[in-house]
Amino acid sequence: MGQQIVIEPISRIEGHGKITVTLNEQGEVADAKLHVTQLRGFEKFCEGRPFTEMVSLVERICGICPISHSMASSKACDQIMGVRVPDAALKLRKMINFGAFIQSHALSFFYLSSPDLLLGMDAEPEQRNIFGVLKADPVFANDGIRLRQIGQQVVEWLAGKRIHPSWVVPGGVNKPFNAAFKDDIQAILPEGVEIVQRALTFFKQSIGKFGEEIQTFANFPSLFLGLVDQDGMLEYVDGRLRFVDAAGNTIADQVDPAAYQEYIAEAVESYSYLKSPYYKPLGYPEGMYRVGPAARLNVCNGITTPLANKEWAEFRNLAPKGPVLSSFFNHHARLIEILYGLEMLDLLLKDEDILDQNIRAIAEPNFQEGIGVVEAPRGTLFHHYKVDDNGLMTWLNLIVATGNNNLAMNRGLLQVAQHFVHGNKLTDPAINRLQAVIRAFDPCLSCSTHCLGTKGGAIQLLAADGELLDEVS
């Protein structure tokens, strides 16, 4: 009879999760699974609400990336109203989104993952946290705190509040940009660029120490998905879908996000509340794809800003013939994206349009359906709404960034378990690496579970031959 090893909870991620590793009769790793153990229910309790409340309602999905949800939601609502959002509002929405990316990526890199990167995967567990980092390298830790502050400060100067602002609304934003903050934002950007460049140097220098991790952290062929602009360059808010295969061939390009259902379907597994989206033409589970920072850099033709583009070229040189396959490099990609955000903010601040007072299009609901797709820090985010004639929500589907990576996270876990778990005991280095591979995806489990799964929460007792011995549901 096989044996099962459980790690619960997974530390230093957003939300709650559990890992189980199943051994076969020879005591070798047979399977590993990530279980997302919580349920949110947004897709149910938003039914019946006016669509005008949706932007703020879905922001409550998360305290780290509320802005991403407000971006996708407002785009879906813009479509329901059938309006053309004023240019100033589009640019201001992009600005707040860049602020949110900076703070979210800084959180992931410095607060959650840097203890592994700076102190090493095998450092003492009690030291392997942000306080340990503060002790070991105060400048590095302060850099992280300051960088996150820069991102949050941009959000606050634009929206009046750092977490859950109600500034982004269907049709635009509800207050013009206060010109007094223009210089303030401009003033803090150079410091951010310096911090990211220091962090990039640190990351590149330490890559050598993580050979084993790079080799095993979800390092396998898969598809990649990300949004790109009309020239194929990196884009977060206004892009179209591009799928790239493991050899680097573009298999679907410039797909209208409104047609996402032709390319993506969602499977439900009994071991997790998190659904498993897959690339429909390849079927389940062969249609496994990855999203997120590394996936975005893998699918795009480049980045429109000079410093980030230079780093992008270097990143792509890690795997000159195709996409960078190891999810360990999500950390690297995150830093490049912070740089892109800082450069873009600088560009947008120089645009006269952002001070325009025309910032909102007003309309009744003119269409019964809206689909908003954006890139969130953790990957592509889909909001799909349907409303009745009066604008009350009748149905919604959310495919949240982390969900897209579900299949890949499970595959990554198995890969790490097979490499690091030996015998029937879990060693500390193995435990940390099992968690670290999940952390590399920076999953937000609290964000990602929405639909009431029909079978979620089942506990299965499986014999090594797969026979079902007992079940509790």
Partner 1 sequence: MNPSANLPPRQATVNDALSRILTFKINDRDVSARDGETILSVASRYNIKIPTLCHLDGLSPYGGCRICVVELKQSGKLVPACITCPQEGAEILTHSQRVVESRKKILELIFSERNHVCAVCVSNGHCELQQLATDLGLTHIHYAYRYPHLAVDASHHRFVLDPNRCVLCLRCVRVCAEIEGAHTWDVMGRGISSQIIADLNQPWGSSPTCTSCGKCVQVCPTGALSEKGKSVAEMVKNQEFLPYLQEMRDKKHY
Q: Which residues bind partner 1 (CB under 8 A)?
A: 48-50, 52-53, 55-57, 60, 164, 166, 169-170, 174, 362, 364, 390-392
266 φ, ψ (degrees, to nearest 5): -120, 130
Nearer to partner 1 by C-beta: 45 or 131? 45
CB of 376 to partner 1, least distance (A): 20
Nearer to partner 1 by C-beta: 20 or 174? 174
Nearer to partner 1 by C-beta: 60 or 84? 60
Helix, strand and coil percent figures for the chain, each rounded to 5: 45, 20, 35
Backbone φ/ψ region at 285: left (φ over 0), alpha (ψ -120 to 50), beta: alpha
CB of 231 to partner 1, least distance (A): 34
Nearer to partner 1 by C-beta: 47 or 122? 47
Strand 276-279 to 172-173 pairing: unpaired
Nearer to partner 1 by C-beta: 93 or 105? 93
Strand 289-290 to 250-255 pairing: unpaired
CB of 361 to partner 1, least distance (A): 11
The residues facing 35 across adjacent strands are: 18
CB-CB neighbours of 307 under 10 Å: 17
Distance, CA of 196 to CA of 148 (rounded, Å) = 11
| Residue 434 exposure: Cα atoms within 13 Å on the Cβ side | 29
Do the Cβ atoms of 136 and 118 come closer than 8 Å?
A: yes
Nearer to partner 1 by C-beta: 239 or 365? 365
CB of 233 to partner 1, least distance (A): 32
Strands (E) across 283-416 are located at 289-290, 369-376, 379-387, 393-399
CB of 178 to partner 1, least distance (A): 18
CB of 47 to partner 1, least distance (A): 10
CB of 336 to partner 1, least distance (A): 34
250 φ, ψ (degrees, to nearest 5): -80, 120
The alpha-carbon radius of gyration of the chain (Å, integer) is 22
Angle at the Cα of 326 (from 323 to 328), degrees rounded to 5? 130
Nearer to partner 1 by C-beta: 70 or 152? 70
Cα-based distances in Å from 421 to 47, 120, 135, 326, 454: 45, 18, 31, 19, 32
CB of 63 to partner 1, least distance (A): 12
Nearer to partner 1 by C-beta: 199 or 393? 393
Nearer to partner 1 by C-beta: 69 or 411? 69
Report the run of H or E that residue 19 belongs to, with start and end. Answer: strand 17-23
Distance, CA of 442 to CA of 209 (rounded, Å) = 21
Do the Cβ atoms of 369 and 386 come closer than 8 Å?
A: yes
CB of 168 to partner 1, least distance (A): 9
| Token couple for 27 | 């005591």
